[in-house]
Chain A
Amino acid sequence: MTTASQSPRRSVRPRPDAGCDVTYLHLVDNDVYGDWESVYRDNVHRLYRLMYARVGNRSDAEDLTSEVFATALRPLRLSASKGEVQSYLLVTAKTVLASHWRRRLGQQVTTIDPESDLSFLTERSTPDEPSDAPARVQQVLDALPDRYRRILQLRFLEACSIKEAAHAMQVTVANAKVLQHRALRMAARVSVEPGP
């Protein structure tokens, strides 16, 4: 079932007791893009940030963002509303990311959900506005034992090499690797999916 309205980025969520056939209806932006450049300029930063959050490195995020736009270029209809265009970009991004993980690892490590991630593309904040990802990661870190939290902070947030992290924690490199692995496993149990 579909719906549309002038108001962007609103989700109509069914009441909790509405039954198990849950459908999230998004009220999409009825404005249209004037040209392809507008589509690109309005979405490239947000789409890149979404991809970066899902792969964690610039090279892959750039490749996947490029692939989404290259793939979307031909079939996209410019007279579709902004909400429709952004939904289409997200569906394409979902497919591109899924294909990436199949090729890279044979496992879906991260995913894009066109339902829950639509608000990310359609939100009216500036593209450079900080995301809430650091806050959510901090929540995960806070749930870990001190040494697990410290090794992950050093390695992933403070850009230390494994050798530097081992030195900072006064353990051997081998111990630091084991510590990192165990910390990641525990963090995986605490957290679920990375957000943009």
Chain B
Amino acid sequence: MTSRRLSAFVDAVAAGRRPKRFRADPHDAEVLRAAIALRAARPGEAAPSESFVSDLFQQLSGRASSSLTPATQAARPPGLRTGLAAVAAAAVLIGGTAVVTGSLNRPAAKFGVAVQAPDETALRTGTFQAARGQVLGQIVAYRGSPSWVFMHVDVPNYDGPIVCMLQVDNGSTVAFGTFVVHHGAGQFSKIIGDVNLSHLRGARLVTSAGSPVAMATFAA
């Protein structure tokens, strides 16, 4: 049965419009993947407009000059976007891919001074997974001055508080904080004090009623 929302989504793809969101199932995803591949192959439309390229450059230039901090400043708990970047950075730094070594500094001409990324011993990352293995989010712990932990989660069809418990390698569990998930999405960052990050084993998320949501284990 073709759902009206799937049909509307396909129509939007065919017309090159931004499609509206809906809750798709895996079979819908297959159809949409095919529709996107077809639409993306339409001749002459794959290149960005020059106005987009120049406008984005202006935006980034402004953001860089206003938000970048000197390399000597301590890293702070990130917001969502920078948090995702931290996750991505961690993946590059720690994931064993063919990239990124050492500590590097070079004057940044147009965009000011870049913050030095934390070295691999300063970042620990983990992936939140539900009991059935579904990936629900990520967690990043940063050892520095101050040290902090950032996490973001996508819990489908959930609205409400989530309690985060940090697990220590001696088997104990430390209540770390509570944050609220809206429409399935939530993020949380907090500076941590006396906890030695190297002793953290992972994190556990539960509802306020104590029902388990997800667990993450920090990469070694």
* B156 contact set on A, CB distance < 8 A: 106
Q: Let me know if B13 and A57 touch, CB within 8 A.
A: yes
Q: Are B106 and A79 in contact (CB under 8 A)?
A: yes
> Per-position contact with B for A85-110: 1 when CB-CB < 8 Å, else 0?
00110011011100100111111111
What sequence of 0s and 1s flags, for each residue 110-123 of chain B, a beta carbon within 8 Å of any chain A beta carbon?
11001111000000
**Segment from B43-51, B143-151, B162-170, B194-202 that makes contact with A:** B43-51
**A155 to B39 Cα, complex, angstroms:** 9
Residues of B within 8 A of A94 (CB): 88
Q: Knowing A35-B109, A52-B40, A62-B52 are in contact, say whether A177-B7 is a contact too (CB < 8 A).
A: yes
Contact B13 A2 (CB under 8 A): no
Partner of A104, one of B21, B109, B111: B21
Taken together as a complex, chains A and B put the C-alpha atoms of A94 and B12 apart, in Å, by 23
Interface size on B, residues (CB 8 A): 79
In chain B, positions 25-70 with a C-beta closer than 8 Å to chain A are 25-26, 28-43, 45-49, 52-53, 56-57, 59-60, 63-64, 67-68
Question: Given A2-B98, A88-B89, A91-B92 in contact, is the A109-B36 Cβ separation under 8 Å?
Answer: yes
Check B132 for interface membership: any CB of A closer than 8 A.
no
Known A62-B52, A80-B104; contact A95-B21, beta-carbon cutoff 8 A? no
In the assembly, what is the distance between CA of A114 and CA of B205, in Å?
29
Interface size class of A (residues with CB under 8 A): 35 or more
Given A36-B109, A88-B89, A187-B34, do A157 and B41 touch, yes or no (CB 8 Å)? yes
**Which residues of the other chain, B, contact A79 by a CB distance below 8 angstroms?**
104-106
> CB within 8 A of A44: which of B2, B53, B84, B96?
B53
Residues of B with C-beta under 8 A to A188? 30-31, 33-34
Known contacts A45-B53, A49-B46; is A106 also within 8 Å of B108 by CB? Answer: no
Is the CB of A169 closer than 8 A to any CB of chain B?
A: no
When the two chains form their complex, are residues B81 and A71 in contact, meaning their CB atoms are under 8 A apart? yes
Number of A-B contacts (CB under 8 A): 268
Chain A, range 44-62, C-beta contacts under 8 Å to B = 44-45, 48-49, 52-62
- Pick the residue among A25, A56, A92, A192 that contacts B40 (CB under 8 A): A56
Is B219 at the interface (CB under 8 A from chain A)? no
Q: Are B114 and A76 in contact (CB under 8 A)?
A: yes
Q: With an 8 A cutoff between CB atoms, is B85 at the interface? A: yes
Assess whether A191 is interfacial by the CB under 8 Å rule.
yes
A1 within 8 A of B: yes
**A102, B154: Cβ atoms under 8 Å?**
yes
Q: Are B56 and A114 in contact (CB under 8 A)?
A: no
| Least Cβ–Cβ distance between B153 and chain A, in angstroms | 10
With a cutoff of 8 Å between Cβ atoms, the chain A residues found around residue B35 in the complex are 56, 156, 184
Most buried by A among B7, B12, B32, B98: B98
Inter-chain contacts of B159 with A (CB < 8 A): none
Q: Do the beta carbons of B56 and A69 come within 8 Å of each other?
A: yes
Question: In the complex, what residues of A have CB within 8 A of residue B216's CB?
Answer: none
Whether A75 is near chain B, meaning CB under 8 Å from some CB there, is yes
At the interface, yes or no: A168 with Cβ under 8 Å from chain B? no
Determine if B108 and A36 form an interchain contact, defined as CB atoms under 8 angstroms apart.
yes
**Complex interface residues of chain A between 1 and 33 (CB less than 8 A to chain B):** 1-4, 25-28, 32
B65 to chain A, nearest CB (A): 11
Q: Which residues of A contact B2 (CB under 8 A)?
A: 177-178, 181
Choose from A78, A191, A192 the contact partner of B114 (Cβ within 8 Å): A78
B211 at the interface (CB under 8 A from A): no
Q: Roughly how many angstroms separate A57 CA and B10 CA in the complex, as a whole number? A: 11
Interface string of A140-154 (1 = CB under 8 A from B): 100000000000100
User: What are some 6 contacts across the A-B interface (CB < 8 A)?
Assistant: A57-B13, A74-B114, A75-B114, A137-B41, A155-B14, A162-B14
Q: Which 5 A-B pairs have the closest CB atoms?
A: A35-B109, A194-B37, A36-B111, A79-B104, A79-B106
Having A74-B82, A193-B33, one finds 14 other A-B pairs with CB under 8 Å, namely A2-B98, A34-B109, A35-B108, A40-B57, A56-B35, A56-B36, A61-B48, A78-B114, A87-B100, A92-B85, A105-B22, A105-B28, A107-B26, A128-B47
